[in-house]
């Protein structure tokens, strides 16, 4: 039947087009055998006849003026009259190429088919949208310059035969070449050998090294406004010399600036990675090997991540020893976990929960526990990711900040980084769609009473100390009352305060608001101090001198007179060193994809660079190719002929905002469908998606997009990154310093599919907010 044949042709259109090249080569039977082994013979015959029909020649005049979107041009092609616009002409060219540059029935039908024409227009529009939201990616790893690496060492060289023995600045020193800089062009002979005296940095002879170089060329550098004389390492030198120079360059690459263009690249990458970490919502905890497992050593806090995670108290979630070990076991397998902390009320009393969503699912308690936890106002959900510290990155951190590995084995012992971010505000109250009952809660899901205190370091802006504090360990005595006193250990002291640990901590009721302290070695005897903080469990006692205390000047004088002794014990200096070391590691292992935005009058041109780890899944279901990543699936508006993004505009107008972007991918044909966030969260569509998820017919892809406005104040890390560049080129140093004000936002893309899939399958539905500000619905382009 004709109607049945049309359906078959429409259904197998892709196969028909794939068989056309075989027909042109007279290999149609081979193509049919290759592509249609499982097709019934009746369908096979219809497909074959359609291929033969489309490949047959025709002389029908082509005309698309009825639906053309551009001016029509009359011309002859293949000896046939044509009335086509530029799109029709392009279709004519591409389709005739498919038929080996012949004018066939297939070419004629493609040109005169309005649906084919519209599909071509949409494809072109889609390509423009994809290209507009395509961004260049940068790795979190350091740029590897390879054999091109060269440093700008802080010394001069001279040769008696070269310019009468004058000393010249070394602009670049590579393993096989050297560049000297001068204000005037030197009078030299090309190809002549010169013997330069290099400082003793290549061996241990204690003498200057003589190195032979062959002169190559002399050129003028417009950027530095200096003449550059290029030399190549001569073959007359000792065989070991080049290896010694290479070793020196690699060892000094982070203590000395690279040559100008390389140093600019390195500084730019470091500054942008610093900006990603500075504005990141993720807190990094450095881990060290413990007894059979990993133990938390240091947390790294910034102004942004402390606000996102409710301050330093968020570390308490990871203090339970058994809970932390269970979390690490899961992270070791999946590299990602969602950790819940909160209190649920039962008939038998309150239960303090500290468990991951996979643990709750393992004991079949995810639905009831999540429902009860979300009713707790103090509930916290942490998105956690684990990464192993690369040994080469650790070496760079030691070298960059001039820290000795042997003197700081505690830093050298760090092996992993755990990143966490509080996403509690993404959950909110939940509604049960089906009744369920809370069963027995396993003890591994409860908060462990055996806690471990986690220390932390902060950036300079968060430093609470108003004066230097010095780490010491001295015996002290604290007079608690008229007839009672307690032995203590003094652990740090400052001009106006101190910290002690009481050996036998008394109850709080026995401790007055003021105590008398004696420290024999510091000439402090029965001096009154105000009690600032006291912990009955640990015996920690923080004290402060009352205003106008007579002993104040005595302590200040004692600290100043013993400055050399106390300088090495300055806790602020040690904290700063540890903070910079952990910062350097965290910067190179940031856990989520990060888009850096700059100031520009055009919205789409504000997206500058995407920093992403090679193994990251944050762009899923989209993929990056080489160093190019498509972001249209997250930002682009759907149904638009031109690239637009209401989502991006909304994010960049707010100081800090976040949205969810949801896609569903059918497993049968891998087709991707965009889902509006509000429809997914609050509409009946959620139940339909949950059903398909339980039947494993579809895959849910949820990406949290969070934007943070940059604080463009110049930080100590900014000055640190540009310090080496200032030695090479003051002008470019000033330009890069001023350029920092052009960075406006950092947008973080984080895949949350595992948690959102579990919530949808658990028959839980979020409660819509009572007062929601009206928003323009944002439609996306889906692949």
Q: Are residues 440 and 496 in the same domain?
A: no
pLDDT in the model for residue 590 = 95
pLDDT in the model for residue 473 = 81
Domain end point (choices 231, 252, 273): 252
Rounded to an integer, the average pLDDT of 296-312 is: 90
Give the pTM: 0.83
The CATH number for 562's domain is 2.40.10.220
Q: Using CA atoms, how far apart are residues 665 and 671, in angstroms rounded to an integer? A: 6
pLDDT in the model for residue 26 = 85
Rounded to the nearest integer, the mean pLDDT of the chain is 86
Q: pLDDT digits over 194-246, tens only?
A: 888 887 665 544 466 788 888 888 999 888 888 889 998 888 887 788 888 88
**Residue 263 covered by a domain:** no
Q: Are residues 646 and 690 in the same domain?
A: yes
Q: Are residues 450 and 346 in the same domain?
A: yes
Q: Using CA atoms, how far apart are residues 252 and 267, in angstroms rounded to an integer? A: 16
Residue with tokens 């090679």: 614
Residue 581 banded pLDDT, cuts 50, 70, 90:
very high
Indicate the DSSP class of residue 193.
E
**Residue 531 covered by a domain:** yes
Q: Are residues 368 and 317 in the same domain?
A: yes
Q: pLDDT digits over 92-136, tens only?
A: 999 899 998 889 998 998 999 898 898 888 888 888 888 889 999
Q: pLDDT digits over 702-715, tens only?
A: 999 999 998 877 77
**Residue 14 covered by a domain:** yes
Whether 378 contacts 343, CB under 8 Å: yes
Q: Are residues 246 and 301 in the same domain?
A: no
Q: pLDDT digits over 57-81, tens only?
A: 998 899 988 899 899 999 888 888 9
Residue 562, pLDDT > 70, answer: no
Q: Are residues 291 and 421 in the same domain?
A: yes
Rounded to an integer, the average pLDDT of 609-628 is: 89
Residue 782 banded pLDDT, cuts 50, 70, 90:
very low
Q: Are residues 346 and 392 in the same domain?
A: yes
pLDDT in the model for residue 205 = 46
Q: pLDDT digits over 332-383, tens only?
A: 999 999 999 999 988 888 899 999 999 999 999 999 999 999 888 889 999 9
Of the candidate ranges 453-457, 523-527, 566-570, 574-578, the one whose mean pLDDT is the lowest: 566-570
**Residue 736 covered by a domain:** yes
Residue 249, pLDDT > 70, answer: yes
Q: Are residues 539 and 643 in the same domain?
A: no
Residue 322, pLDDT > 90, answer: yes
Please state whether beta strands 336-346 and 380-388 pair in parallel, antiparallel, or not at all (unpaired): antiparallel
Residue 668 banded pLDDT, cuts 50, 70, 90:
confident
**Cα 283–chain centre separation:** 12
Domain end point (choices 426, 461, 496): 461
Residue with tokens 């019934």: 40
The DSSP secondary structure of 412-442, one letter per residue, reads HT--EEEEEEE-GGGT--EEESS-----PPP
Residue 187, pLDDT > 50, answer: yes
**Residue 775 covered by a domain:** no
Q: How far is CA 61 from CA 51, 118, 694, in A?
A: 21, 21, 55
3-state SS class at 584? helix
Q: Are residues 236 and 325 in the same domain?
A: no
Residue 573, pLDDT > 50, answer: yes
Q: Using CA atoms, how far apart are residues 399 and 360, in angstroms rounded to an integer? A: 44
pLDDT in the model for residue 2 = 64
Q: Considering the chain, what percentage of its residues have pLDDT values greater than 90?
A: 29
Q: How far is CA 376 from CA 27, 345, 428, 760, in A?
A: 70, 9, 10, 20
Kindly tell me the burial class for residue 191, based on how many C-beta atoms sit within 10 Å of its own C-beta (0-12, 13-18, 19 or more). Answer: exposed
pLDDT in the model for residue 482 = 67
Domain end point (choices 409, 432, 461): 461
Q: Considering the chain, what percentage of its residues have pLDDT values greater than 70?
A: 92
Rounded to an integer, the average pLDDT of 443-459 is: 88
Q: Using CA atoms, how far apart are residues 153 and 253, in angstroms rounded to an integer? A: 9
User: Positive or negative, the Cα torsion across 119, 125, 127, 130?
Assistant: negative
Q: Tell me which residue range forms the domain holding 248.
A: 150-252
Per-residue tokens: 540: 């920690």
Measuring CA to CA, which residue among 453, 313, 286, 299 is closest to residue 386? 286
| Residue count of the chain | 783
Q: Are residues 297 and 443 in the same domain?
A: yes
pLDDT in the model for residue 389 = 93
Of the candidate ranges 279-288, 547-556, 665-674, the one whose mean pLDDT is the lowest: 547-556
Q: pLDDT digits over 381-429, tens only?
A: 999 999 999 999 999 999 888 888 888 888 999 999 999 999 998 888 8
Q: Are residues 494 and 533 in the same domain?
A: yes
pLDDT in the model for residue 337 = 95
**Residue 211 covered by a domain:** yes
pLDDT in the model for residue 204 = 44
For the chain, how many helices (H) and strands (E)?
25, 32
pLDDT in the model for residue 779 = 46
Q: What is the count of structural domains for the chain? A: 5
Q: How far is CA 762 from CA 56, 430, 700, in A?
A: 58, 11, 14
Measuring CA to CA, which residue among 486, 543, 477 is closest to residue 510? 486
Residue 551, pLDDT > 70, answer: no
Residue 778 banded pLDDT, cuts 50, 70, 90:
very low
Q: Are residues 428 and 391 in the same domain?
A: yes
**Residue 314 covered by a domain:** yes
Whether 365 contacts 445, CB under 8 Å: yes
Whether 564 contacts 527, CB under 8 Å: no
pLDDT in the model for residue 568 = 63
pLDDT in the model for residue 202 = 55
**Residue 642 covered by a domain:** yes
User: Which segments within 524-647 are labelled E, that is strand?
Assistant: 524-534, 540-544, 593-598, 607-611, 628-630
């Amino acid at each position: 039947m004709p109607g049945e044949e049309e359906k078959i042709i429409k259904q197998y259109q892709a196969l028909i087009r794939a068989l056309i090249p075989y027909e042109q080569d007279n290999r149609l039977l081979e193509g049919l055998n290759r592509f249609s082994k499982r097709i019934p013979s009746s369908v096979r015959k219809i497909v074959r006849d359609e291929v033969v029909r489309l490949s047959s020649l025709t002389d029908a005049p082509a005309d698309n003026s009825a639906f053309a979107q551009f001016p029509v041009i009359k011309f002859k092609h293949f000896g046939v009259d044509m009335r086509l616009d530029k799109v029709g002409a392009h279709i004519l060219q591409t389709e005739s190429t498919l038929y080996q540059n012949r004018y066939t029935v297939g070419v004629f039908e493609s040109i005169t088919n309005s649906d084919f024409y519209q599909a071509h227009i949409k494809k072109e529009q889609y390509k423009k949208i994809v290209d507009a939201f395509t961004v260049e990616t940068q790795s979190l790893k350091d740029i590897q310059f390879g054999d091109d690496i060269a440093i700008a060492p802080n010394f001069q060289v001279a040769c008696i035969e070269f310019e009468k023995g004058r000393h010249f600045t070394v602009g670049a020193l590579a393993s096989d070449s050297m560049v000297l800089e001068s204000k005037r062009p030197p009078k030299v002979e090309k190809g002549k050998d010169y013997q330069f005296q290099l400082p003793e940095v290549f061996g241990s002879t204690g003498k200057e090294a003589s190195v032979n170089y062959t002169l190559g060329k002399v050129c003028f550098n417009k950027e530095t406004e200096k003449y550059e004389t290029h030399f190549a390492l001569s073959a007359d030198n000792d065989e070991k010399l080049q290896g010694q120079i290479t070793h020196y360059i690699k060892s000094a690459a982070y203590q000395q600036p690279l040559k100008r263009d390389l140093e600019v690249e390195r500084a730019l990458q470091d500054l942008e990675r610093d900006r990603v970490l500075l504005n990141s919502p993720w807190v990094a905890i450095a881990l060290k090997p413990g007894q059979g497992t990993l133990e938390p050593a240091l947390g790294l806090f910034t102004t942004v991540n402390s606000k996102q995670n409710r301050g330093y108290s968020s570390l308490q979630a990871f203090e339970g020893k058994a809970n932390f070990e269970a979390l690490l076991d899961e992270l070791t397998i999946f590299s990602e976990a969602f950790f819940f902390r909160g209190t649920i009320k039962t008939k038998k009393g309150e239960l303090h929960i500290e468990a991951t969503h996979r643990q709750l699912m393992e004991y079949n308690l995810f639905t009831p526990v999540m429902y009860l936890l979300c009713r707790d106002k103090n509930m916290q959900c942490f998105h956690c990711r684990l990464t192993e510290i690369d040994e080469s990155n650790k070496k760079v951190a030691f070298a960059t900040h001039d820290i000795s590995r042997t003197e700081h084995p505690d830093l050298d012992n760090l092996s992993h980084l755990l990143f966490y971010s509080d996403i509690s505000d993404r959950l909110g109250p939940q509604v049960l769609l089906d009744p369920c009952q809370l069963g027995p809660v396993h003890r591994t899901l409860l908060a462990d009473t055996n806690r471990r205190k986690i220390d932390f370091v902060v950036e300079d802006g968060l430093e609470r100390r108003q004066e230097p504090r010095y780490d010491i360990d001295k015996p002290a005595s604290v007079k608690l009352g008229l007839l009672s006193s307690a032995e203590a250990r003094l652990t740090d002291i400052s001009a106006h305060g101190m910290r002690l640990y009481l050996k036998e901590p008394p109850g709080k009721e026995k401790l007055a608001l003021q105590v008398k302290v004696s420290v024999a070695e510091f000439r402090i005897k029965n001096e009154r101090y105000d009690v600032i903080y006291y912990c009955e469990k640990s015996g920690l006692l923080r004290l402060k001198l009352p205003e106008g205390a007579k002993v104040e000047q005595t302590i200040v004088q004692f600290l100043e007179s013993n400055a050399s002794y106390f300088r090495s014990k300055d806790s602020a200096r040690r904290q700063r060193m540890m903070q910079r070391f952990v910062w350097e590691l965290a910067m190179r292992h940031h856990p989520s994809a990060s888009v850096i935005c700059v100031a520009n009058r055009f919205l789409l041109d504000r997206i500058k660079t995407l920093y992403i780890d090679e193994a990251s899944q944050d762009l899923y279901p989209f993929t990056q190719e080489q160093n190019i990543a498509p972001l249209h699936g997250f930002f682009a508006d759907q149904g638009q002929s031109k690239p637009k993004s209401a989502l991006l505009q909304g994010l960049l107008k707010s100081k800090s905002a976040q949205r969810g972007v949801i896609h569903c991918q059918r497993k049968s044909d891998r087709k991707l469908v965009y889902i509006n966030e509000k429809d997914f969260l609050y509409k009946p569509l959620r139940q339909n998606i949950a059903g398909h998820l339980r039947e494993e017919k579809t895959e849910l892809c949820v990406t949290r997009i969070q934007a943070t406005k940059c604080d463009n104040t110049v930080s100590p890390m900014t000055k640190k990154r540009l310090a080496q560049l200032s030695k090479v080129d003051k002008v470019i140093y000033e330009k890069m310093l001023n350029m920092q004000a052009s960075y406006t936002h950092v947008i973080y893309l984080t895949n949350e599919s595992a948690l959102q899939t579990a919530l949808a399958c658990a028959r839980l539905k979020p409660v819509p907010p009572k007062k929601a500000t009206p928003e323009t619905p944002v439609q996306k382009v889906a692949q």
